[in-house]
Amino acid sequence: MKRWISYPKAEGEFSRQAHCDLPDGTFEREMGKEGFFGPACHFHHKHAPTGWTEFDGPLRPHAFDLNRLEVRAASPFQAYPLLSNGDARIRWWLLDAPMPALARNADGDELLFIHEGEGALFCDWGHLDYRDGDYIVLPRGAMWRLEPRQPTRVMLVEASGSSYQLPEKGLVGPHAIFDATALDTPKLDDAFAAQRDGEAGSRPWAVQVKHQGKLTTIRYPFNPLDAVGWHGDLAACRVNWRDIRPLMSHRYHLPPSAHTTFVARNFVVCTFVPRPIESDPGALKVPFYHSNDDYDEFILYHRGSFFSRDNIRPGMTTLHPCGFTHGPHPKAFAAGLKAERKETDEVAVMIDTRFPLEVNEPARAVELHEYADSWKPKA
């Protein structure tokens, strides 16, 4: 049990409630432990905490335009390696033809987020169609392949050495955000039987296995996806962002952790989906400024207009490393003060990692280096 040095105190001008009814002319900044779950302090500043003029050194906010990555790959293990640490590996994959071989990740569970496209997934448990906005969880060791019907763009997130689980939903109960019945599992249907018993079932197949970061190919004279039945409580599953019913409060801007979809060792995956914006006059209408003190934050912008950012398009990503304060762009903050928008239309996937993410070369090649300047006060 943690014994935080924790004691609620207050000094000077302050608000009775975080993120609400701030002292006139001030900007709130949250500094906390364990993301949004530990002790925290809320400062009230005269100037926006992101009103910097320059960064001099390696630490800075990053933006990457993944739309500029165009090389197709037949295997998920040939996908662009974007960012990684000891717990998570984030890759970007473009696929426009059926995978010629099966894939098996022996290094951790695999999470696929379908950014664009539609098609069919075949795996140990059967057949499952996919479309844009789907999350697909493939347990460590699963054999699988995709057959796109439309060109497909996928963000893959490996839980290295660990497993994906659902978040603890606490007071709101197990049916909040999405019910477990929204998790679809594959079927041993006619499509699966056709690939098992037809031409695809009789020809030789290869399985590419990733173990300790290295690939091994195992060859079979038949299709090893030949199950005729299964039972148990471990399976691949799918949920779409359209199935998510976000937690909301009209009087208080909830922290990003309220939108957690999956948890793994030392990182979480959150989903931002359309929702009404806070209507209480005193409540913040945009994300609050906060210091990244324990976590790196990576976001993929999937669709819509992200209400705390300017000039961010679908297919772009941002990385805000631990060590500096971040929050809404000035124009978005001003719009929030005026309550110009009544609801969001954004869909985005956020990955918060407990340990720093290393930016790999494919991401550096499509980095928008001017991103750090987008918070500068306009002359």
Q: Which residues have a catalytic role annotated?
A: 253
Quote the CA–CA distance of 87 and 15 in Å, as a whole number. Answer: 38
Count Cβ atoms below 10 Å from residue 309 Cβ, excluding itself.
Answer: 23
| Strands lying side by side in the sheet with 260-264 | 62-65, 316-320, 296-303, 347-353, 267-272, 260-264
Question: CB-hemisphere CA count at 13 Å for 81?
Answer: 13
Say if residues 236 and 135 touch (Cβ distance below 8 Å): no
Quote the CA–CA distance of 286 and 275 in Å, as a whole number. Answer: 12
Quote the CA–CA distance of 202 and 220 in Å, as a whole number. Answer: 10
Instruction: Provide the token pair at 169.
Output: 């939903």
Binding region: 290, 296, 326
Quote the CA–CA distance of 145 and 126 in Å, as a whole number. Answer: 11
Binding region for homogentisate: 326
Binding region for Fe cation: 290, 296, 326
Torsion of Cα atoms, 271 then 276 then 278 then 284, to 10°: 50
The alpha carbons of the chain give a radius of gyration, in whole angstroms, of: 22
| Strands lying side by side in the sheet with 358-359 | 237-240, 134-138, 108-116, 152-160, 88-95, 80-84, 358-359
The single-letter DSSP state of residue 304 is S
